[in-house]
């Protein structure tokens, strides 16, 4: 049975938790994108050391589960005599570092698809390497990989459910607390699933429309 009074009571709690989930996901994706630009540039650099460092970063953060990364980051500071990180800071750091590895691979594919003649011409015109990357190569790479970037955002929002293990009051944590208080496990987790669907299904549809639009523009 679905308890409607309990459902109405839980809506404000889920609303606040939704803001926290979106905040951690969007911040993690934004910082991860900045990290990805750096890592993808390192992978395509001419220096072997930079390529190895970029590849090692991706190997580590794609190979270690996000949950483990989150716990290591959260409990790392006290080992060096530093204050504990807040759950929000630890969550954003873990999501940023993890998403940066995946986004870097997406951007690397987009950067490799750009004809080398463009960067060579820009170099002859006197543009620096960072200027070529930011003003010529990166906009084209983002345009060609935008559907994949949207899909990565969807995956990151779903993965953000793990941040509840460090005590952050996100959607999953609130559902767990409500379920443990009134034992309406199915109802609260069903509402949780519905909220994630309301977030991710429109994003997924938007990504597919972008993909079809790009296919038509390139045809």
Instruction: Please indicate, yes or no, whether the overall pTM of this predicted structure exceeds 0.75.
Output: yes
* Rounded Cα gap, residues 201 and 206, in angstroms: 9
* Rounded Cα gap, residues 147 and 130, in angstroms: 25
- Total domain count for the chain? 1
φ and ψ at residue 29, rounded to 5 degrees: -70, -40
Assess contact for 191 and 178: CB atoms under 8 A: no
φ and ψ at residue 198, rounded to 5 degrees: -65, -30
* Rounded Cα gap, residues 103 and 51, in angstroms: 16
Assess contact for 188 and 4: CB atoms under 8 A: no
Confidence (pLDDT) at 117:
86
Q: Collapse the DSSP code of 95 into the 3-class scheme (helix H, G, I; strand E, B; otherwise coil) and give the result.
A: helix
- Among candidate residues 39, 30, 26, 28, the one with its CA nearest the CA of residue 73: 28
Domain residues for the domain of 126 are 4-218
DSSP secondary structure letter of residue 169: -
Angle formed at CA 82 by CA 76 and CA 85, multiple of 5 degrees: 60
Other C-beta atoms closer than 10 Å to the C-beta of 23 total 15
- 52-56, 74-78, 111-115: which range is least confident on average? 74-78
Tell me the pLDDT tens digit for each residue of 134-186: 888 998 898 889 889 999 999 999 999 999 999 899 999 999 999 999 899 99
Q: Please report, for the domain that includes residue 176, its CATH number.
A: 1.10.3720.10
- Distance from the Cα of residue 212 to its chain's centroid: 23
**pLDDT tier for residue 219 given thresholds of 50, 70 and 90:** low
* Rounded Cα gap, residues 219 and 213, in angstroms: 10
């Amino acid at each position: 049975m679905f308890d409607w009074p309990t459902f109405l009571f839980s809506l404000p709690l889920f609303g606040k938790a939704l803001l926290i989930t979106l905040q951690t996901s969007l911040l993690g994706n934004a910082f991860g994108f900045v990290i990805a630009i750096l890592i993808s540039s390192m992978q395509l650099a001419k220096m072997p050391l930079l390529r190895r460092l970029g590849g090692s970063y991706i190997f580590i953060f794609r190979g270690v589960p996000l949950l483990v990364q989150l716990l290591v980051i959260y409990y790392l500071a006290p080992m060096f005599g530093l204050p504990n990180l807040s759950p929000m800071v630890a969550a954003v750091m873990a999501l940023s570092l993890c998403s940066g590895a995946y986004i870097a691979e997406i951007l690397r594919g987009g950067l490799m698809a750009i004809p080398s003649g463009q960067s060579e011409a820009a170099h002859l015109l006197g543009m620096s390497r960072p200027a070529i990357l930011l003003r010529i190569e990166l906009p084209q790479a983002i345009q060609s990989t935008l559907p994949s970037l949207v899909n990565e955002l969807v995956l990151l929002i779903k993965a953000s459910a793990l941040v509840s293990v460090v005590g952050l009051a996100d959607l999953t944590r609130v559902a767990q607390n409500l379920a443990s208080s009134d034992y309406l496990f199915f109802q609260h987790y069903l509402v949780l699933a519905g909220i994630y669907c309301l977030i991710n299904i429109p994003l997924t549809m938007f990504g597919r429309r972008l993909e079809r639009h790009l296919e038509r523009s390139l045809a």
